[in-house]
């Protein structure tokens, strides 16, 4: 898949601004997360876009924590957001907090009131909603709309000083109750909240609403291009109205389609629910679409950046196939992952004509895709080895090119072997498989002239280590989890399968936590954060092939 692309439509708009000399060609964007959860793959899209376009035009990007909701925000989230952005490979010019602007925003509100563009309303939130009208009918003006400027200033000061209870009063912009745009029908811009804030503590008892914080913060920072998702398109007239009335820096808002992924939920509210109800093992559970989950699973920053690049920047909502993200990580890991052999479901295989006590050491490529083969590791071979139970069949169907009585296969990096017998227990389970080997068939020096169709991975039973392997599948079994119903009904009950005792080749005992591995024929793996020298745990990042595509074909 080619990743060569022309400029996206946002880049075209910015290029035109730069060419026309707007803001003297200066470009300053911002990434404005609300610190009420961990970043997810959708945020990665916004990060790549904001930081990417700024870089393209020699500009900069601010990180701004949009922390205007005291109840839902926490410092833990701030720290995780910073770590995730850095991990993705981006660096911000400034770290700002909307809460740093609370004084300025308060002054802005006073300025609106003084010019007759804002008023204190005593109506309840239900009454305000009722007076709002509908998209086809105009709303009604509040009985408090025509208070005097002096009264409004005095009431707003009292709101600030905690003289009213929550919900008793709000500050509204005075715009147009008949506007076809519902957001222009006297939107609430400040509300009373007697809650402690993660940064300003108990200093504030009133907090600005999103619409009265976001655009103003952009102006305070002299942001030239404020890029947000499509649902804010209808807020743009208000964004522009406030900038005009306050006569502040003319930041401009641009909208693009948010990223939606099949088989995935992305709203932070839903992700928080998954964590709280313990459907997953925390925000960084390897099945979560969070950046910390993807990282723990073994996704690389490059694969995520490439994914964001491939999907491009759209003007219309669409749903991206989750398989594309998997494709991107597979493609990246194929180039970098070290090859190792691990047997998940072991059965003993004995090479009867191989001398007792003999051990041979082979050199095996770490990565055949790398120019220098990624260097070599040593693997040992002796009389007893482990192979996958599924790689042997007593009565194989026609095209079974693996092991069966009388059939030959190659053991990767070692010899061609031929099965002559096997042993079963009382329950009919195969317990041991007996083979002979072709001494002239040793890999690299094969003079046997024998061609076999199957190559199996294996592990020397006398020189291996037991590891835990976690096989993940999609967290949801439906493309659009929940639809109109409860999304937790669509959780995939088989999204995590734990193999407690997989047999791994000895080289894996030296596994590094930062290293990505390909376990031959099984997929790409990454050490879990809870892995220790005594108990190594590997998460499967992705299978080698797209197994879901096969499932879909079967259904067709």
43 binding ligand ATP? (CB under 6 A): yes
Least separation in angstroms between residue 76's CB and ligand ATP is 15
Candidate segments 31-39, 134-142, 278-286, 317-325, binder of ligand ATP by CB under 6 A: 31-39
Q: Tell me the residue nearest to ligand ATP as measured from the CB.
A: 42
361 binding ligand ATP? (CB under 6 A): no
Is the CB of 54 or the CB of 364 nearer to ligand ATP?
A: 54
Question: How many Cβ atoms are within 10 Å of 447's Cβ, its own excluded?
Answer: 10
Candidate segments 199-207, 266-274, 402-410, 424-432, binder of ligand ATP by CB under 6 A: 266-274
Least separation in angstroms between residue 380's CB and Mg ion is 56
Least separation in angstroms between residue 373's CB and ligand ATP is 40
Cα 207 from Cα 219, distance rounded (Å): 18
Is the CB of 264 or the CB of 300 nearer to ligand ATP?
A: 264
Q: Is 60 helix (H, G, I), strand (E, B) or coil?
A: strand
42 binding ligand ATP? (CB under 6 A): yes
For tokens 């979560």, what's the residue?
A: 288
Least separation in angstroms between residue 47's CB and ligand ATP is 8
Least separation in angstroms between residue 310's CB and ligand ATP is 15
Which of 267, 352, 421, 530 is the binder for ligand ATP (CB under 6 A)?
A: 267
Is the CB of 63 or the CB of 329 nearer to Mg ion?
A: 63
Cβ atoms of 245 and 115 within 8 Å: the answer is yes
504 CB-near residues (< 8 Å, 6+ apart): 340, 341, 342, 343, 459, 464, 465, 466, 467, 536
Cβ atoms of 406 and 416 within 8 Å: the answer is no
Residues with catalytic function: 34, 258, 268
Q: Is 536 helix (H, G, I), strand (E, B) or coil?
A: coil
268 binding ligand ATP? (CB under 6 A): yes
Q: Which does 258 bind (CB under 5 to 8 A by kind): Mg ion, ligand ATP, none?
A: ligand ATP
Candidate segments 34-42, 368-376, 381-389, 419-427, binder of Mg ion by CB under 5 A: 34-42
Nearest Cα to Cα of residue 45 among 330, 258, 315: 258
- Residues facing 424 on adjacent strands: 430
Least separation in angstroms between residue 229's CB and Mg ion is 9
* Burial label, 179 (beta-carbon count in 10 A; 0-12, 13-18, 19+): middle
Q: Please count the residues of the chain.
A: 556
Tokens of 402: 């693996």
* Burial label, 312 (beta-carbon count in 10 A; 0-12, 13-18, 19+): middle
Pairing assessment for the beta strands 60-65 and 95-97 based on DSSP bridges = parallel
Candidate segments 26-34, 129-137, 201-209, 245-253, binder of ligand ATP by CB under 6 A: 26-34
Least separation in angstroms between residue 466's CB and Mg ion is 46
336 binding ligand ATP? (CB under 6 A): no
Cβ atoms of 122 and 164 within 8 Å: the answer is no
Cα 227 from Cα 232, distance rounded (Å): 10
Q: Which does 32 bind (CB under 5 to 8 A by kind): Mg ion, ligand ATP, none?
A: ligand ATP
Tokens of 268: 């932070």
3-state secondary structure 347-365: EEEEECCCCCCCCEEEEEE
Positions 56 through 75 that interact with ligand ATP (CB under 6 A): 66
Candidate segments 2-10, 43-51, 72-80, 186-194, binder of ligand ATP by CB under 6 A: 43-51
Q: Which does 186 bind (CB under 5 to 8 A by kind): Mg ion, ligand ATP, none?
A: none
Least separation in angstroms between residue 399's CB and ligand ATP is 44
Q: Which does 55 bind (CB under 5 to 8 A by kind): ligand ATP, Mg ion, none?
A: none
Number of residues that bind ligand ATP (CB under 6 A): 15
Write the DSSP assignment of 266-311 as a string of letters. Answer: --HHHHHHHHHTTSSSSTT-TTSSBHHHHHHHT--HHHHHHHHHHH
Q: Is 108 helix (H, G, I), strand (E, B) or coil?
A: helix
Q: Which does 43 bind (CB under 5 to 8 A by kind): Mg ion, ligand ATP, none?
A: ligand ATP
258 binding ligand ATP? (CB under 6 A): yes
Is the CB of 42 or the CB of 298 nearer to ligand ATP?
A: 42
Cβ atoms of 442 and 415 within 8 Å: the answer is yes
Cβ atoms of 353 and 437 within 8 Å: the answer is yes
161 binding ligand ATP? (CB under 6 A): no
Q: Which does 259 bind (CB under 5 to 8 A by kind): Mg ion, ligand ATP, none?
A: ligand ATP
Number of residues that bind Mg ion (CB under 5 A): 1
Least separation in angstroms between residue 45's CB and ligand ATP is 4
Nearest Cα to Cα of residue 253 among 273, 238, 271, 274: 238
Q: Binding pattern to ligand ATP, positions 212-231, x when CB under 6 A?
A: ----------------xx--
| Strand residue runs (E) in 257-334 | 259-261, 318-320
Cβ atoms of 506 and 319 within 8 Å: the answer is no
Cα 16 from Cα 25, distance rounded (Å): 10
Least separation in angstroms between residue 268's CB and Mg ion is 8
Is the CB of 34 or the CB of 369 nearer to Mg ion?
A: 34
187 binding ligand ATP? (CB under 6 A): no
What's the angle, vertex CA 450, arms to CA 448 and CA 455, rounded to 5? 110
Cα 95 from Cα 88, distance rounded (Å): 17
Is the CB of 38 or the CB of 354 nearer to ligand ATP?
A: 38
Q: Which helix (H) or strand (E) holds 549?
A: helix 547-555
Cβ atoms of 228 and 253 within 8 Å: the answer is yes
Question: How many Cβ atoms are within 10 Å of 397's Cβ, its own excluded?
Answer: 7
H helices of 312-445, in order, are 322-336
Is the CB of 39 or the CB of 522 nearer to Mg ion?
A: 39
259 binding ligand ATP? (CB under 6 A): yes
Which of 153, 266, 393, 499 is the binder for ligand ATP (CB under 6 A)?
A: 266
Interface with Mg ion (CB under 5 A): 34
What residue ranges bind ligand ATP (CB under 6 A)? 32-34, 42-43, 45-46, 66, 228-229, 258-259, 266-268
């Amino acid at each position: 898949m080619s990743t060569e692309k022309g400029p996206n439509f946002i880049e075209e708009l910015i290029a035109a601004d730069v060419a026309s000399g707007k803001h003297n060609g200066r470009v300053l964007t911002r990434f404005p997360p609300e610190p009420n959860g961990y970043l997810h793959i959708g945020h990665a899209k916004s990060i790549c876009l904001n930081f990417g376009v700024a870089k393209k035009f020699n500009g900069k990007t601010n990180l701004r924590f949009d922390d205007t909701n005291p109840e839902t925000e926490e410092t833990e989230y701030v720290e995780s957001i910073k770590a995730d952005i850095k991990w993705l490979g981006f660096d911000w010019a400034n770290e700002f907090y909307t809460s740093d602007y609370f004084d300025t925003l308060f002054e802005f509100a006073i300025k609106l009131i003084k010019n007759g563009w804002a008023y204190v309303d005593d109506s309840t939130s239900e009454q305000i909603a009722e007076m709002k009208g509908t998209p086809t009918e105009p709303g009604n003006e509040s009985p408090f709309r025509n208070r005097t400027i002096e009264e409004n200033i005095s009431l707003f000061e009292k709101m600030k000083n905690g003289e009213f209870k929550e919900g008793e009063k709000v500050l509204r912009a005075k715009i147009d109750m008949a506007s076809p745009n519902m957001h222009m029908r006297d939107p609430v811009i400040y509300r009373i909240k007697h809650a402690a804030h993660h940064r300003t503590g108990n200093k504030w008892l009133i907090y600005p609403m999103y619409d009265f914080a976001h655009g103003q913060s952009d102006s305070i920072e002299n942001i030239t291009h404020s890029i947000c998702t499509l649902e804010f398109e209808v807020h743009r007239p208000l964004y522009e109205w406030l900038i005009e009335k306050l006569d502040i820096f003319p930041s401009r808002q641009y909208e693009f389609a948010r990223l939606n992924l099949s088989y995935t939920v992305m709203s932070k509210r839903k992700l928080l629910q998954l964590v709280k109800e313990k459907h997953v093992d925390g925000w960084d559970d390897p099945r979560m679409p969070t950046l910390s989950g993807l990282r723990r699973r073994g996704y690389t920053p490059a694969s995520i950046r490439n994914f964001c690049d491939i999907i491009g920047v759209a003007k219309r909502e669409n749903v991206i196939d989750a398989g594309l993200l998997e494709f991107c990580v597979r493609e990246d890991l194929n180039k970098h992952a070290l090859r190792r052999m691990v047997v998940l479901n072991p059965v003993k295989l004995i090479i009867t004509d191989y001398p007792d006590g003999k051990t041979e050491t082979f050199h095996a490529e770490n990565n055949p895709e790398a120019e220098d083969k990624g260097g070599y590791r040593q693997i040992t071979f002796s009389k007893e080895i482990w192979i996958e139970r599924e790689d042997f069949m007593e009565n194989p169907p026609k095209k079974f090119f693996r092991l069966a009585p009388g059939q030959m296969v190659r053991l990767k990096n070692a010899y061609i072997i031929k099965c002559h017998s096997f042993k079963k227990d009382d329950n009919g389970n195969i317990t041991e498989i007996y083979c002979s080997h072709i001494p002239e068939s040793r890999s690299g020096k094969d003079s046997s002239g024998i061609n076999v169709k199957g190559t199996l991975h294996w592990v020397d039973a006398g020189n291996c280590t037991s590891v835990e392997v976690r096989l993940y599948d999609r967290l949801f079994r439906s493309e659009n989890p929940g639809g109109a119903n409860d999304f937790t009904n669509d959780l995939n009950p088989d999204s995590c399968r734990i193999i407690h005792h997989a047999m791994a080749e000895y080289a894996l005992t030296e596994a590094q936590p930062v290293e990505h591995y390909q376990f031959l024929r099984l997929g790409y793996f990454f050490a879990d954060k809870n892995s220790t020298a005594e108990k190594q745990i590997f998460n499967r990042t992705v299978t080698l092939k797209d197994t879901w595509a096969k499932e879909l074909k079967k259904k067709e």
